[in-house]
Amino acid sequence: MTQSHGFETLAIHAGQEPDPLTGAVVPPIYQVSTYKQDGVGGLRGGYEYSRSGNPTRTALEECVAALEDGTRALTFASGLAAEDCLLRALCAPGDHAVIPDDAYGGTFRLFAKVASRWGIGYTPAHAGDLDAVRAAIRPGVTRIVWCETPSNPLLGVADIAALAAVAHDAGALLVVDNTFASPYLQQPLTLGADVVVHSTTKYMGGHSDVIGGALVVEDAGLAAELAFHQNAMGAVPAPFDAWLTLRGLKTLGVRMDRHCANAERVVDLLSRHPRVAEVMYPGLPGHPGHDVAVKQMKAFGGMVSFRVNGGEEAAVRVCDRAELFTLGESLGGVESLIEHPGRMTHASAAGSPLEVPGDLVRLSVGIESADDLLADLERALG
């Protein structure tokens, strides 16, 4: 397959040629730990041990790389495992990173509670404010500028191309967490990013049945460094997990179209509802990052956050009353989810500069019938 093929074609075929032995059109699950060698050091297809490489995982990695328009993808047991590998491959004690002031709580926890213990410093900055990012950079020390766009859970938007210029001017790499957009809506490497991070658990897997993560790069040297650490650290996905994620990728395009369409209906309802104080969605013309989102995204995604009149307890009641929107963490599956970030996904950021408002509710809008989702939100809002 080549990049001249369309996204949906790549999602179905990249890394997934029919099996040469049987003609099976779906890559087999190579549920194997080790491989017979043709003499000492004579590896068939380069495989020796499934921590180092597995054909099912290879198929997934080739597909993910194609969808992100990168040269190499590496997959992991979770999104945070991917992030941990990235930090340990790129940073040493004394290095520094700039992270978003509205980052995912797990990312913040990784920096604040794990990486910092090993001497990696970090400074939160508003990724949508280039001057703030520049001010947070420590010349000669900052190794990474980290970005989520749209961000979790405040749906902030950052200009990837502009951030790449800022990072590169300082001798740093730009890392973009593309989980919320998915490669169907946005390809950060084509905009100047150096590394793309995914929790493949979310939209890429798409069915709430598998945990995984990925890193995607363009530079061959960076790819080799990350691959060394992937093998040395060993937090790789099992073959069946890789297979499930690959199956999810086949329908990513059509699912994202429905996620986006349903989210727009939900945003319209919330924007007019008297119990909603503010709606956060990049597709709204009044969103501070709307113009940038129009420039770098195909559509605006299936994630919606809003603030409820009445404060934190009112927000919690909305979460408790929802029925079709399942109360739960995670996002990006075919089913709709609702959560209270301050007490759930972002509880680890409490008391920090990344603490989220108590009256905030986050929705992952699924692909159910939109009218049913609207009726459920009407009930939940009372």
- Cα gap 339→5, rounded to integer Å: 38
Is residue 350 within 8 A of residue 108, CB to CB? The reply is no
- DSSP designation for 304: E
Q: What are phi and psi of 73, to 5 degrees?
A: -120, 145
Does the annotation count 202 as an active-site position? yes
* β-strands 337-339, 326-327 pairing: parallel
Catalytic residue (one of 72, 109, 143, 202): 202
Apex CA 368: angle with CA 367 and CA 370, to 5°? 100
Residue of 81, 107, 99 lying closest to 349 (CA atoms): 107
Does the annotation count 177 as an active-site position? yes
Catalytic residue (one of 84, 177, 359, 376): 177
Alpha helices in the chain (DSSP H): 7-13, 55-67, 79-90, 105-109, 130-136, 160-169, 182-185, 220-233, 239-249, 252-272, 290-296, 311-321, 370-381
Does the annotation count 295 as an active-site position? no
Catalytic residue (one of 104, 122, 184, 281): 104
Q: How many CB atoms sit inside 10 A of residue 66's CB? A: 25
Does the annotation count 219 as an active-site position? no
Residue of 234, 229, 161 lying closest to 194 (CA atoms): 161
Just list the catalytic residues.
Answer: 51, 104, 177, 202
